[in-house]
Amino acid sequence: MRAPSLLLLLALSVGAAGRLNVLLVLVDDLRPALGCYGDPLAVTPNLDRLAVQSTLFSRAYAQQALCGPSRTSLLTSRRPDTTRLFDTGSYWRQAAGNFSSLPQLFRERGYYTASMGKVFHPGIVSNYSDDQPYSWSEPPYHPSSQADKDAPVCLGEDGKPHSNLYCPVDVSAQPQRTLPDIQTVQRAARWLQDRSGRAEPWMLAVGLHKPHIPLKMPWQYLNLYPIDSVSPPAQPTRPAGLPPVAWNPWSDVRHRDDVRQLNISFPYGPMPGFFARFVRQAYYAAVSYVDELVGQLLEALATAGHADNTVILLCGDHGWALGERGEWAKYSTSEDATRTPLLLHLPSRSGSLAGFRRVSALHRLQTRPVEGGAVHVSTPVELVDPPPAADVVAACDAPVAAAAVAFSQYPRPSVTPRADSDQPRLRDVAVMGFSARSARYRYTEWVRYDPATMRPLWRHLVADELYDHAVDPLEAANLAQAPTA
């Protein structure tokens, strides 16, 4: 049993009078760069403390490494092939079917549901309404400062503001003297306080935008990661055995002002080593910024008196490559693009978060990572699941399905990289990569695809990949193209 249906089962498995509240936290572009996932560089004390009282899924995978399709899959528990959403240009209820969403199921069962920040992908993907009137009991909240997300506020070497990838900022100097995720958490904290004492169970979904690019965070978080402590990517160039169709040319990163000035050749030119370390530094700083905000949210939950009766599910919508195999961003079927953290806190089984107080990483520069969770699940799991099982008790007692393979996919417009390879429009999809991740191996087939019928042409194999994670965690040696004896 995996994330969405498990969440519904756990919350509804007791009588109506004792139903558990639900806090769903979605973090944009979050790879497992956390202390609790064994990352020695990460300074994430609040997420580590949550993990100590949670089930930690160490091999959780998104179904497509792009925000719109991934969030639609997670929130409808249907794969991109079913939602017919591989890009950000359509609404699943119109393109594929009037499927029920996870918050809709809660709402139909007597829950008060609310959305704050980036939960559904904005725009046509959620019908310009965050899937209203189906999913939420009140109008979804979006922070006003999100309108300035790509504003030229990143100071360059010339002392002028730019739209950069690397973007530490002085919050007080921002257009609204704040940042979107700060506004979202402040709003959620007030909402939690307002729900105190009410008998009606609730589901609150909070979506944080960082560490999505631009890598914009309060500049103080850079102090946690002196540049000399940030290592370059272990495998900084494209492996010889990586098929051209599998390559993620990170086009959106290239469009940023500071990256454009580097004059990196398309599609395989490597990012200069000095700049690669700055990007990695900024990503980790943005993750620590997110950790601080999650700490504030958990403290607000405890202060409002909800800690003992609230299930918490925290995950990313997919991962993000930090220079591994020469790739940056997502847009791939690779381990770095598809793997994301997944933490599930059950107050009756994992211990209470009552009295939780956030730990400011900025005042604990020597914070030692806490690795692991109360329960550690290493079986590969997905961010989708079949409809809830009839046997609720059995499902709760056995939270991981017997199937030990997680599936992901990604579309391409051609067999060789081009400018729109990262985000092709639906009508331009010519190849689809289907990837299966077991406990040890990842196998991917890239096959021809017919966008008119929305069907893969399995007999037309373009390329394949096979990686043995027991000896090759970076997926640098493609065994499918290795010479045979």
Handedness of CA 470, 471, 475, 481 (dihedral sign): negative
Tokens of 73: 């899959």
Q: Is residue 404 very low, low, confident or very high in pLDDT (cuts 50, 70, 90)?
A: confident
Rounded distance between C-alpha atoms, residue 339 and residue 337, angstroms: 6
* pTM as predicted: 0.93
pLDDT score of 403: 54
Read off the pLDDT band of 306 (50, 70, 90). Answer: very high
Percent of residues, the chain, with pLDDT higher than 90: 82
- Helix then strand then coil, in percent of the chain rounded to 5, is 30, 20, 50
Side chain identity, residue 457: L
CA 311/CA 184 separation, integer angstroms: 20
Nearest to 28 by CA among 176, 146, 193: 146
Distance CA 421, CA 432 (A): 11
User: How does residue 389 score in pLDDT terms, banded at 50, 70 and 90?
Assistant: very low
CA 81 to chain centre: 19
Span 38-77, pLDDT tens digits: 999 999 999 999 999 999 999 999 999 999 999 999 999 9
| Each residue's pLDDT tens digit, 150-206 | 899 998 888 899 999 999 999 999 999 999 999 999 999 999 999 998 989 999 999
| The pLDDT of residue 141 | 97
Phi, psi of 91 (to 5 degrees): -110, 125
- Are 330 and 321 spatial neighbours (Cβ–Cβ below 8 Å)? yes
Order of strands across the sheet that contains 441-450: 406-412, 431-437, 441-450, 455-468
* 402's tokens: 């017997």
Which amino acid does the sequence have at 149?
A: K
Task: Tell the residue number behind the tokens 């043995």, with chain if given.
Answer: 468
| Distance, CA of 446 to CA of 465 (rounded, Å) | 9
Q: Which residues are catalytic?
A: 67, 121
Q: Token pair of 415, please?
A: 């067999």
Residues 235, 236, 240, 245, Cα dihedral to 10°: 110
What domains sit in the chain, N to C, each tagged with a CATH number? 3-144+170-248+280-401 (3.40.720.10)
Structure tokens at 164: 């950069």
**Residue 429: pLDDT over 70:** yes
Flag the least confident range among 241-245, 269-273, 286-290, 362-366.
Answer: 362-366
Count CB atoms within 10 A of the CB of residue 484: 3
Place of tokens 């700049």: 275
pLDDT (mean) for 218-240: 94
Q: pLDDT tens across 94-135, in order?
A: 989 999 999 999 999 999 999 999 999 999 999 999 999 999
Beta bridge partner(s), residue 321: 329
| Whether the predicted pLDDT of 401 surpasses 50 | no
Q: Which of 442, 411, 346, 468 is nearest to 61 (CA)?
A: 442
- Region 437-448: mean pLDDT is 97
Distance in Å from the first CA to the final CA of the chain = 41
CB within 8 A of 463, min separation 6: which ones?
243, 244, 245, 246, 415, 445, 446
User: Average per-residue pLDDT in the chain?
Assistant: 90
Q: Which residues pair with 207 in a beta bridge?
A: 26, 117
pLDDT for 394 equals: 39
- H-helix or E-strand spanning residue 251: helix 251-254
Specify the length of the chain in residues.
485
Distance CA 261, CA 325 (A): 22
Contact residues for 363 (Cβ-Cβ < 8 A; gap 6+): none
Angstrom CA distances, 294 to 44, 206, 258, 310, 315, stand at: 10, 10, 30, 15, 12
Strand partners, 216: 167
Distances (CA, A) of 278 to 152, 230, 249, 429: 19, 8, 19, 34
Whether the pLDDT of residue 400 is over 70: the answer is: no
pLDDT at 393: 33
Q: Is the confidence at residue 253, as pLDDT, over 60?
A: yes
User: Residue 386: what pLDDT?
Assistant: 53
Nearest CA to 372 out of 404, 341, 347, 403 is that of: 341
Locate all alpha helices (DSSP H) within 27-66, ordered by sequence: 45-52
Neighbours of 455 (CB within 10 A): 12
Tokens of 283: 């990503």
Burial class of residue 270, CB neighbours in 10 A (0-12, 13-18, 19+): middle
In this predicted structure, what is the pLDDT of residue 453? 94
Distance of alpha carbon 336 from the chain centroid: 11
For residue 347, say if its preceding peptide bond is cis, omega within 30 degrees of 0.
no
Per-residue pLDDT tens digits for 311-345:
999 999 999 999 999 999 999 999 999 999 999 99
Confidence of residue 15 (pLDDT cuts 50, 70, 90): very low
